[in-house]
Structure 1
Amino acid sequence: MTPTSVQDLLSHAWFGLIGLMLVLYVVTDGFDLGVGALTLLRRRESDRDLMIQSIGHVWDANETWLVALGGALFGAFPSAYAMILSDLYVPVMVLIASFIMRGAAIEFRHAAHTSKAVWDRVFGIGSLLAAISQGIVLGKILTGFVPGLSSLGFIVATVIGVVSGYCLLGATWLVKKTVGGIEHWARRCATLATFTTVAAALVVSLATLELSPVGVTRWQEHGIFHLLIALGVLAALATLYVLYAIRMRGEHGPFVGSTLLFVISFAGLAISMFPYIVPGQLTVSDAASDSTTLTFMLFGIGIVLPIMIGYNLYQYHLFRGKVVPVKH
C-alpha cells in the first residue's frame, strides 16, 4: 500500500469516526437539550422538577461527546478546525455560554428557595440557545460559509429543524421516562414536533439542491442521489413508526423511532458532504493531518471510545425506568 493510499485510508477513517461521535452527541445531548427547551412550556414547578429529574443523571455525561468531537477535529483535521471555528466564532461562543447557563442553573436550582423558577428559566433558555447555535453551525457549514440573504433563509430553516428535532427527542424521552400528565403532554408535543421536524427537513433538502455546494456537486454524482432517496424512504418509515408508537401508547418505541430518524438523517448528511469536510471549500484529504498523527490518534481513540460508550451504556442501564417525583 502506497503512502498516499495509507494517508487517504486514515483520513477517511477519521471522517467516519468524527461522524460517529457527532451522531452520538446529537442523539444523547439532543434529547436533554430538548427536555430543557420544553421546560419553558410548563408553568408548574413540580412538572419542571420531574422533567429535569428525568435527565439529571445523564445530561453532563452526554456533553463529553462534544468535547471528544472538538479534540478529534482539532487533531485529525486542523485546517477544517481553523476554518470552522474562525467563521463560527459567535455561534460557538453562544453555545459555550449556553452550556455554562445550563450547568449553573441545574445545580443552583437545587439550593434555591424563592428563585427556583428563575433558575428553571435559565436552564430552559440555555437549552434553547444551545439548539439554536447548533442549527446555525449546521446551516453555515452546509452553505459553505457563503454569505447572502438566501443563505440566511437556509440557516433559519436548519435552526428550526434542529430545535424541532431536539424537542422531538426530548418529548419522546419524557414519554419513556415519565407517567401521568407529563407523559400525556409529551406525547402531544412529540406528535407536533414530528411534523415540524419533517417539514423543516424537506425544506432544507430542497434548498440544498439550489443553495448548497452539496446539492450542486455531490448529489449529482452517479449513484449518490439514488442512495439518498433510499435513506429518505427509511427516514419516512422511521417517521411513521414514531407516529404509530405514539398513537399505540408505546413507551420506548417513540424514542427508538426518533433516534433512528436522526441516525438515518446523519448518514445522509455524511454521504452528502464526503469527500468534503467543508462543502465546496475543503476536502477531507486536504484538511487531514499527516499519517503519523492520524495513526497515533487512532490508537488513542481505540482506547477511549470503548470506555466512553461502555460508560454511557452502563449509565443509561443503571438509571433505566420511570422517574418518580422527589419527596421534599
Structure 2
Amino acid sequence: MDIMNANLADIWLVLVGFFLLYYVLTDGADLGIGMLTLVAGSDQDKETMMLSIHTIWHGNQTWIVILGGILFGAFPLFYAIVLSALYIPLSLMLFGFIFRGVAFEFHDNAKRKSIWLVSFGIGSLMATLGQGFALGGLLGGISVQADSFAGQAGDWLNWYSVLAAVGVVCGYLMLGAGFLIARTSGKLQARSYRTALTTGILTLVVSAGIYVFTSMLHVEMAAKWLQSPPSFLYLFSFLTVVAFIMYFRSLRRKKQLAPLVWNWLIIIFSFTGLSIGLYPAMIPSLDSTSLSVQEVAASPTTLRFMLVVMAVLLPIILTYTTYSYWIFRGKTTEEGYDGN
C-alpha cells in the first residue's frame, strides 16, 4: 500500500497516457479521414469515407472529454497552466469539433450535401491543427513562475509548434488512410494504399525531426541518450523504426489490416519513447522551471478516490467500445456496412 501511495501520481500519468493514446488511435483516424475528404476525387468517395466512421466518431471523440476530466481531477495544476498557455490552439480544436459535429448532423438530410462534406473536412483539419499546435506549444516549453503561466498568449506559435502541427496532420492522414484500407474496397482502397505510403514517408521524416529537435531543446532528454547503461529511450526508438519498416512492408504486400496495426504500434512506441525522454517533467520548460509529475498532481486522497472510480468505469467503457466496433465491423460500401 505504501508503495502504491508513493507512486499514485505516476499511476495516473500512465492512465493519462493510455487515454491520450486511445483517443489518438481512434479519433485520429476519424480526423485523418475527414481531412482526406478535402482531396478525394468524387462526392461518392467522400460519402463512403464519411460513412465508414459514421457510427463511431462520436464515441471516439468522447475520449478527449474523459481525458480533460481526468487532467482536471488528477493534475489540476497542469490543467490550469496548460489551458492558460494554450487556449488559442485548444479553442481552434474545439471549433473544429463543432464544425465536424454539425456536418455529421446536417449532412444526412441536406439537399446540398457537398456543403457539409466540405465542412466535415475543414472541421477535421481545424481540430488536427489545434492539437498539433498545442502539442508543439507544450513540448516546446511553457514559461512558469510561482506555479502560474508566466508567458504571452502567442508563445505557443513558433517553428517547433509548426513542425509538430505538420507532424500531427501527416500522422492523422496516415491513420485515416490505414483505416480506409481496412474498411473499404475497390478504387477507394487502392487510392488509400497510395495515400498511406506517401503520408507514411512524410510522417517518418517529420517525426524524426521532432525527436531530434526535442532532444536539442530539453537537456534532460539529451542526457538520457548519453547515459550508461542505455535507457529505455533506445528500446522504444528502435521499436518505432522496426514498426515503420513493417508498416511499409505490409503496404507493399497489400495487407488490409496490418498497415493500421503497425501504424498504431508506431504511435504507441514513439509516444512512449518521447514520454520516457521527458519524464519526470510534465510541463517542460526551456529554463529550470519545468514542473514534474509529482508537483502538478492532486492530493493522494483525491488520486486514490479517482483510482477506485476508474477501476469500476474503465472496464465498462472498454467493453461498450469494443462491442460497438464489433457490431459495425466489416467493409463500408455505398449502401453501408456489409457486416462481415
TM-score, scaled relative to structure 2 = 0.90
Distance in 1 (CA, whole Å) between partners of 2:134 and 2:296 is 19
Kept in 2: contact 1:241–1:257 (CA 8 A): yes
Kept in 2: contact 1:12–1:284 (CA 8 A): yes
Partner of 2:192: 186
Task: Give the CA deviation at 1:219.
Answer: 4.8
Partner of 1:245: 250
Partner of 1:93: 91
Query: Out of 130, 134, 140, which is 1:133 matched to?
Result: 130
2:295 is the alignment partner of 1:286: yes
Task: Give the CA deviation at 1:222.
Answer: 4.8
Distance in 2 (CA, whole Å) between partners of 1:236 and 1:217 is 21
Distance in 2 (CA, whole Å) between partners of 1:306 and 1:273 is 30
* Counterpart residue identity of residue 246, structure 2: Y
- Alignment partner of 2:282: what SS? strand
Query: Out of 299, 310, 316, which is 1:307 matched to?
Result: 316
Partner of 2:67: 69
Query: Out of 101, 114, 119, which is 1:122 matched to?
Result: 119
Partner of 2:159: 153
Task: Give the CA deviation at 1:6.
Answer: 5.1
2:263 is the alignment partner of 1:258: yes
2:322 is the alignment partner of 1:316: no
Kept in 1: contact 2:133–2:156 (CA 8 A): no
Distance in 2 (CA, whole Å) between partners of 1:137 and 1:119 is 27
2:274 is the alignment partner of 1:269: yes
Partner of 2:52: 54
Kept in 1: contact 2:100–2:123 (CA 8 A): yes
CA spacing shift, 1:270–1:215, aligned 2, 3 Å: closer
Kept in 2: contact 1:50–1:324 (CA 8 A): yes
CA spacing shift, 1:149–1:221, aligned 2, 3 Å: farther
Distance in 2 (CA, whole Å) between partners of 1:209 and 1:113 is 52
Distance in 1 (CA, whole Å) between partners of 2:207 and 2:251 is 21
* Counterpart residue identity of residue 88, structure 2: V
Distance in 1 (CA, whole Å) between partners of 2:6 and 2:90 is 29
Kept in 2: contact 1:208–1:214 (CA 8 A): no
Aligned residue runs from structure 1 range 13-92, under 5 A: 13-92=11-90
* Counterpart residue identity of residue 121, structure 1: V
Query: Out of 107, 111, 114, which is 1:113 matched to?
Result: 111
Distance in 2 (CA, whole Å) between partners of 1:110 and 1:235 is 40
Distance in 1 (CA, whole Å) between partners of 2:308 and 2:156 is 43
Distance in 1 (CA, whole Å) between partners of 2:75 and 2:224 is 21
What stretches of structure 1 move > 6 A for 4+ residues in a row? 147-151
CA spacing shift, 1:296–1:226, aligned 2, 3 Å: closer
Structure of greater relative contact order (alpha carbons < 8 Å, 6+ residues apart): 1
Task: Give the CA deviation at 1:145.
Answer: 2.2
Unaligned runs of 5+ in 2: 144-150
Distance in 2 (CA, whole Å) between partners of 1:310 and 1:212 is 39
Distance in 2 (CA, whole Å) between partners of 1:216 and 1:151 is 23
Task: Give the CA deviation at 1:151.
Answer: 7.4
Distance in 2 (CA, whole Å) between partners of 1:292 and 1:219 is 36
Higher helix proportion: 1
* Counterpart residue identity of residue 323, structure 1: T
Measured against aligned partners, the alpha-carbon deviations of 1:206-232 in whole angstroms (never above 9, x if no partner) come to 111222355355555555x64222212
Partner of 1:326: 335
Distance in 2 (CA, whole Å) between partners of 1:168 and 1:68 is 25
Aligned residue runs from structure 1 range 216-235, under 5 A: 216=222, 219=225, 222-223=228-229, 226-235=231-240
Kept in 2: contact 1:142–1:212 (CA 8 A): no
Task: Give the CA deviation at 1:326.
Answer: 2.2
Count of residue pairs brought into register by the alignment: 323
* Counterpart residue identity of residue 234, structure 1: L
Task: Give the CA deviation at 1:297.
Answer: 0.4
CA spacing shift, 1:218–1:152, aligned 2, 3 Å: farther
Unaligned runs of 5+ in 1: none
TM-score, scaled relative to structure 1 = 0.93
Distance in 2 (CA, whole Å) between partners of 1:18 and 1:326 is 38
- Alignment partner of 2:311: what SS? helix
